[in-house]
Structures are given as structure tokens and as C-alpha cells.
Chain A
Amino acid sequence: DVKVTQSSRYLVKRTGEKVFLECVQDMDHENMFWYRQDPGLGLRLIYFSYDVKMKEKGDIPEGYSVSREKKERFSLILESASTNQTSMYLCASSRGQGNSPLHFGNGTRLTVT
């Protein structure tokens, strides 16, 4: 079974802090994704990566950056956390191109105060 592991289940940070969300997958998947999930808005794509050191902006990249130095690890960085970044963050991975399904981690509930 594919395992996608997010480093924290719950996180509380202060406004202006730099925040790192870590995600690791163990199935040698090429693609990795960061989504945020908010009530009534579904899952919105922040960034994705289809190869090591490659990254593409999703639909809401503002205020975020990502890093993929190794194939199994994809990090989401909030350079200066703001209260409107309080959300559930979901990491996912998939294999190759096409209809390979997304495998999600259990999410990180981030609260910015």
C-alpha cells in the first residue's frame, strides 16, 4: 500500500512565522502535490511537482513556495504565515502521467493566530 506521511497532524503558528510542512511518500511516485481544503471550497491546488527539483504553480500559489530536493519528499513553505492561511493542508502523490490516482496523506490542520 502507498503511504503518504505528513509530518504533523496539528500545527499552531503565529502570524509572520515561517512554516514548513513536510510530506514523504514511500512508493517512488514521480508526482507530488499540495492542496488546501476549506469548507465549501473543496480541495484547491497550491503547487505540484512531476520530478525532483521541478515545480509548477497550481491555482493558489500566492504566499507559498515548495521544495523537492529528493523524489520522496515534497515540502510546502509559508514564508510569512497569515491568518488566511489557516486551513487543512493535504499532500498527495501519484505515479507518472495520466490516470494514476492520487494517494493522499492524512492532512495537517494549520492554525495561524
Chain B
Amino acid sequence: GQSLEQPSEVTAVEGAIVQINCTYQTSGFYGLSWYQQHDGGAPTFLSYNALDGLEETGRFSSFLSRSDSYGYLLLQELQMKDSASYFCAVLNTGGFKTIFGAGTRLFVKA
């Protein structure tokens, strides 16, 4: 089977750094993606890691360790607008099929 584990909720203060972890079990692993979803909105793509290491995009970074089946999303200089749900997702089956975790609800406090 395949599964992704991520914390259900994380709370942090404005300006802080927060890390959302994701561990996965899947066959035919292709890469790990992260999506953000605000309440009432559609999920939007944040980042993708196919190889081990850190990918940085502005305030957001994503890390992957294929040997540990583990990745994380790092959000720096948190802002109130970062309050949202964050999903890790695995791309497999020849690069067509994306499977999502249950999501992490991030609350940013003033």
C-alpha cells in the first residue's frame, strides 16, 4: 500500500519559522510535492523535490531524503496569510499519479 504521514495541526507566531514534516510509504516513488490550501480555496502548488536536498523558493523551502522516505516544508518569516492547510503529495506510477497526505493545518498567531 501507500501512505503519507504529516501532523494534523501546527501553531506558530508571526515572524517565526515552522517546519512541517512528511513521511511516506509508497511504491514507484517519483517525487514529493507540497500544496497550500486556504479555507474555501483550491490547493495551489508550492514546491517539488525529485532529488535529495533542499529546494528554496522565497520564504518557503522543501527538503527531501529519499533514503529515509522523509521530507519537510520550511516556512520562514511567517505571516498571518500563511495560515492554511499544507499537503505533502507523492508522485508515482510513472509520473502520472499524485497521492496526497491528510494535510497539516497551520495557525499563525499575532
Contact = CB atoms under 8 A, between A and B. Distances in A.
A43 interface: yes
Interface residues of B, number: 26
Interface of A: 31, 33, 35, 40-45, 48, 50, 56, 58-59, 90, 97-99, 101-107
B29 interface: no
Given A35-B100, A42-B103, A44-B100, 11 more contacts: A42-B102, A43-B89, A43-B100, A45-B98, A48-B96, A56-B97, A90-B42, A99-B50, A99-B91, A101-B48, A103-B45
The 10 lowest CB-CB distance pairs between A and B, nearest first, are: A101-B45, A104-B42, A42-B102, A43-B100, A97-B95, A98-B95, A42-B100, A99-B48, A42-B103, A104-B43
Contacts of A99: 30-31, 33, 48, 50, 91, 95
Interface of B: 4, 8, 30-31, 33, 35, 41-45, 48, 50, 87, 89, 91, 94-103
